Structure 1
């Protein structure tokens, strides 16, 4: 099964999933030697335009004027921070649609009607800088969470922003300067997951990784390689980009390079289950069955209490036409966490496919009640309105 890693503020990691067995001890990560990149294997990659740091964070005159109109008249840094944050969310509520594959620069996001959370975070960072506010990115340590696109499972990460008012002058300071947290996923914000600070370079690498994952989903391997290599030149140990590069090498039948990329990812992040699972698939593909099963056993034991693991397995069963198997996985996910609209919708969709419209309607209503996103509420209401005469 296929997995990528992406940013929801998010980055993608490609993954494969197949039969798992009982828990065993973790394999030891081998030393990695030899080059990770192979430009000769993707000769057209050199012609791909890669956005520079300036390109990613640039704002045009219209965007800069928006900041000036919004907070240019406000002297107090705290009030300026609050006003800018409120204005951004108000603007997004009226003008923007969420799209997981909308990996755009700050200026593109400002003008487009679609964006994902990484793009929104990059745009907000640029706007806050224009407003002379101190802003930093944070990596939010969410549990493994998958979405599906074009038959591929996308493992998502998440980032948010913290804006801190700058003192008015060198002789000023604030007793309380933790700042204001801006998160475009209210569920992640509400659950208060642990966070670590990210550098601007790490976020640039995430942007490149997302662009590479999108290219790989479109089967544009040269473009995918160009972006993955760009990400690794900015952040050589970025495990998500290494896993995605390993996936690209595997589908390109460059198996030695694929293993090397996975092992380097694990050397950087030994607990990266996505890297382990992709490595297991590679070993299974290479007839190293025992090594593959040892890895998969450990991965499964760590995922059994993750509702999104069962949600992802259920989606796979659904795609393969096994509705009873899908239902079993979705119910396991619900038993672990009964406060996720994605699980309720998965159950509604499965019951609809089984012809049980009463149950389908019941879970659609639960999905609508549970989500905090107005766009999703409207989507679920639309499905409720069409339930009797169309598929969901």
Structure 2
């Protein structure tokens, strides 16, 4: 699979908890960067942390209007978060590639999980609440854009009334802000992370977007910024490796993948890209050994089979896609994405009734109104085609 590591909306960064750190003696000048190749990177200036988290006047007014001096802190917290998601108020929508700063997210009424978390953090700070970023250790999960598999991570935000964290007390006055409530219900382990890491994740996403758009100078500028700010974030090194490989900088690509693996030896995306690099350089046996190991580790992950189905569908093979989707469904019979994929495959095969059945299941299992409406719209189109 051709992969880029990205932090998307509903899923934030998938960096595995407990990863290693770089040795103190490892200086910035020793990082596998290539300023001498991407000499025009300085034409792009990544947003500062202040710019990323700044609320404009309209966003500040929205927060002010959500707070009442007659209500307690807990009620004001609930009202702020409710209005962020309430269709009659801000009504934030999920869009996977909405990699925007807080003020843009507010103006667009659209976010992925990273940009939602950034905006919610800025609003919580402005309102005087405590807010803590969390990185969630979810199974590998992919989406496809422009013929490329994007490995999604996940972050969310816990917002609490002002005195909760200061007194180190457990309080009922907190809310987890998350597009995907299943990550909360499933109790995946999570770890608090810093604002610096969140900022590096933002740069990584912007760099990945630029990679997808074949804007390699911009991609390098943002990935470089991420690497310098938070070099322990392995996803950045994987994406830089993809960029270097694209430009024939194979030694730099290998250094980048190996650095990602030093940070997390179970980073399967780094291993997979390293296998591809070995294949390109003629080390076929080594490439096959790594690929086999990665494949074996992913066999029990339904989303691995799901993304193989998506690939097969993109390549015009709906029958093979159904084989992969069915394997995914046997492992997890509750995911709307899998049912949607099966509906698409049956449609391509001309099985309109079966396609409609799976669209109904996708809508039934959708985790938000936006996806439910999307599936119901597809279902309506299918019913009209009968």
Q: Same fold (TM over 0.5)?
A: yes
Aligned partner of 1:5 in structure 2 is: 5
1:317 Cα deviation after fit? 1.2
**Aligned equivalents of 2:285 and 2:13: distance in 1?**
28
**Aligned equivalents of 2:385 and 2:13: distance in 1?**
32
**Aligned equivalents of 2:330 and 2:262: distance in 1?**
35
**Aligned equivalents of 2:206 and 2:318: distance in 1?**
34
Q: Quick one: structure 1 residues 36 and 362, their matched pair in 2 at CA, closer, same or farther if it must change by over 3 Å?
A: same
Mapping 1:107-126, distance limit 5 Å:
107-126=103-122
Q: Quick one: structure 1 residues 366 and 107, their matched pair in 2 at CA, closer, same or farther if it must change by over 3 Å?
A: same
Aligned partner of 1:103 in structure 2 is: 99
- Deviation by residue 1:51-92 (Cα, 9 ceiling, x = unmatched): 000000001122112212211525633232222222222158
Aligned partner of 1:160 in structure 2 is: 156
1:173 Cα deviation after fit? 7.8
**Aligned equivalents of 1:302 and 1:173: distance in 2?**
39
- Deviation by residue 1:308-333 (Cα, 9 ceiling, x = unmatched): 00001111111112222111100000
1:211 Cα deviation after fit? 0.2
**Aligned equivalents of 1:345 and 1:371: distance in 2?**
10
Which 10-residue stretch deviates more, 178-187 or 237-246?
A: 178-187
Tell me the secondary structure at the aligned position of residue 148 of structure 1: strand
Aligned partner of 1:57 in structure 2 is: 53
Aligned partner of 1:204 in structure 2 is: 199
Asked whether 1:343 is paired with 2:338, we answer yes
**Aligned equivalents of 1:112 and 1:371: distance in 2?**
23
Q: Is 2:74–2:173's contact at 8 Å kept on the other side of the alignment?
A: no
Asked whether 1:313 is paired with 2:308, we answer yes
Mapping 1:245-264, distance limit 5 Å:
245-264=240-259
Q: Quick one: structure 1 residues 288 and 259, their matched pair in 2 at CA, closer, same or farther if it must change by over 3 Å?
A: same
Mapping 1:5-24, distance limit 5 Å:
5-9=5-9, 10=11
**Aligned equivalents of 1:289 and 1:264: distance in 2?**
22
Aligned partner of 1:292 in structure 2 is: 287
Q: Quick one: structure 1 residues 180 and 12, their matched pair in 2 at CA, closer, same or farther if it must change by over 3 Å?
A: closer
Aligned partner of 2:77 in structure 1 is: 81
**Aligned equivalents of 2:48 and 2:68: distance in 1?**
28
Gap runs ≥5 in structure 2: 15-25
Taking structure 1 as the reference length, what is the TM-score of the superposition? 0.90
Aligned partner of 1:16 in structure 2 is: none
User: 1:68 pairs with 61, 64, 73, which one?
Assistant: 64
Which 10-residue stretch deviates more, 374-383 or 214-223?
A: 374-383
Q: Quick one: structure 1 residues 134 and 325, their matched pair in 2 at CA, closer, same or farther if it must change by over 3 Å?
A: same
In the TM superposition, structure 1's runs of 4+ consecutive aligned residues that sit over 6 Å from their partners are none
RMSD over aligned Cα atoms: 2.3
Count of aligned positions = 372
**Aligned equivalents of 1:48 and 1:91: distance in 2?**
36
Taking structure 2 as the reference length, what is the TM-score of the superposition? 0.91
Aligned partner of 1:21 in structure 2 is: none
Asked whether 1:386 is paired with 2:367, we answer no
Which structure has more relative contact order (CA 8 Å, sep 6+)? It is 1
**Aligned equivalents of 1:127 and 1:276: distance in 2?**
39
Aligned partner of 2:18 in structure 1 is: none
- Deviation by residue 1:16-67 (Cα, 9 ceiling, x = unmatched): xxxxxxxxxxxxxxxx995411111111211102100000000112211221
Aligned partner of 1:361 in structure 2 is: 356
**Aligned equivalents of 2:279 and 2:183: distance in 1?**
35
**Aligned equivalents of 2:44 and 2:385: distance in 1?**
42
Q: Quick one: structure 1 residues 222 and 92, their matched pair in 2 at CA, closer, same or farther if it must change by over 3 Å?
A: farther
1:178 Cα deviation after fit? 7.6
1:97 Cα deviation after fit? 3.1
Q: Quick one: structure 1 residues 175 and 253, their matched pair in 2 at CA, closer, same or farther if it must change by over 3 Å?
A: closer
**Aligned equivalents of 2:48 and 2:186: distance in 1?**
34
Q: Quick one: structure 1 residues 144 and 173, their matched pair in 2 at CA, closer, same or farther if it must change by over 3 Å?
A: closer
